[in-house]
Amino acid sequence: MVVGPKQRQIAFRHDLKQKIYQLIKECHQDCSWPIGWICKTVQVARSAYYKWLHHKPSKREIRDQKILKQIKEIAKSNNSLFGSPKMTMALNAQRKEGEPVVYRRTVSRIMCVNGIRTSKGRFNKKISL
């Protein structure tokens, strides 16, 4: 599994849908516009809006939020010098007894989707003539 532009596109579309649903909710509450009319106008299925409205976070979403919080703390403490392999080792070193192991691909996906990158630049060899 390669984490890259596809994962970012999926996350971007998800965030866009979340903003649209939030806008529908605000328009309905503030202006008393009918939900069916708003959904038709922005070309969103009314059932999708109601599914979003009554959504409960899954186990994976809860776990990802917890890991994201830990990743941000580690990145802040070491000036974002860790990539996903070292970040995974740091997360697993911090885990408590009985907690499941965090895998590198999970960390890589979460870092990619949330725009967390290493601050260490790559060095290019300069050739002088």
Q: What pLDDT digit, counting tens, does each position of 72-104 carry?
A: 999 999 888 888 899 999 999 998 888 899 999
Q: What pLDDT digit, counting tens, does each position of 8-54 carry?
A: 888 888 889 999 999 999 999 999 999 999 999 999 999 999 999 99
Query: Model pTM greater than 0.85?
Result: no
- HEC readout, 6-71: HHHHHHHHHHHHHHHHHHHHHHHHHHCCCHHHHHHHCCCCHHHHHHHHCCCCCHHHHHHHHHHHHH
Query: Do the beta carbons of residue 91 and residue 55 sit within 8 Å?
Result: no
* Position 115 confidence tier, pLDDT thresholds 50, 70, 90: confident
Would you say residue 127 has pLDDT above 90?
no
Extents of the domains making up the chain: 5-53, 59-113
Would you say residue 61 has pLDDT above 80?
yes
